[in-house]
Amino acid sequence: MKPPFSAAINAWRIRRSLDIDGRERLEKLRIRLDHMAARPYFIERAPLALARFVALDLETTGPNMLQDVIISIGAVAVEARAVHHARAFEVVLRQHRPSEVDNILVHQIGGQQQMAGVSPVDALMDCLEFLGDSVVIAFRAEFDETVLTREVNAVLGLPQQHTFLDLAVLLPSVFPGTNNDSLDDWAQHFGIRPIGRHRAIADAYTNAQLMLLVLEHAHRNGMSTVGELIKMERAQKWLGKRR
Domain total for the chain? 1
Written as tens digits, the pLDDT of the chain (243 aa) is 444 566 567 667 777 888 889 989 999 999 999 888 888 888 889 999 889 999 999 999 999 999 999 999 999 999 988 897 778 999 999 999 988 988 888 888 988 999 999 999 999 999 999 999 999 999 999 999 999 999 999 889 888 889 999 999 999 988 988 889 999 999 999 999 877 666 899 999 999 999 999 999 998 988 999 999 999 999 988 776 555
In sequence order, which ranges of the chain are alpha helices (DSSP H)?
6-17, 20-38, 41-44, 101-107, 111-115, 120-131, 141-156, 167-174, 183-189, 200-220, 226-239
Residue 230 lies inside a defined structural domain of this protein: yes
* Cα–Cα dist 153/138, whole Å: 20
User: Quick check: 202 and 72 in contact, CB under 8 A?
Assistant: no
* Backbone angles phi and psi of 122, in degrees to 5: -65, -40
Taking CA atoms, 22 is separated from 3, 53, 58, in Å, by 27, 26, 24
Residue 96 lies inside a defined structural domain of this protein: yes
Residue 1 lies inside a defined structural domain of this protein: no
- Residue 243: the pLDDT is 54
Radius of gyration of the chain (CA): 18
Residue 177 lies inside a defined structural domain of this protein: yes
* Cα–Cα dist 48/65, whole Å: 31
Taking CA atoms, 216 is separated from 41, 157, 172, 200, 209, in Å, by 23, 38, 15, 25, 11
Residue 219 lies inside a defined structural domain of this protein: yes
Torsion-angle region of 47 (φ positive above 0: left; ψ -120 to 50: alpha; else: beta): beta
Q: What CATH number is associated with residue 67? A: 3.30.420.10
Length of the chain: 243
- Residue 6: the pLDDT is 61
User: Quick check: 107 and 198 in contact, CB under 8 A?
Assistant: yes
* Cα–Cα dist 185/229, whole Å: 23
DSSP string, 73-126: EEEEEEETTEEEEEEEEEEEB--SSPPPHHHHHHH---HHHHHTSB-HHHHHHH
pTM of the model: 0.90
Give the closest residue to 229 by CA, choosing from 239, 217, 241, 238.
217
* Cα–Cα dist 180/201, whole Å: 22
Residue 232 lies inside a defined structural domain of this protein: yes
- Residue 82: the pLDDT is 86
Domain that holds residue 208: 6-239
Half-sphere exposure at residue 42, Cβ-oriented, CA atoms within 13 angstroms: 11
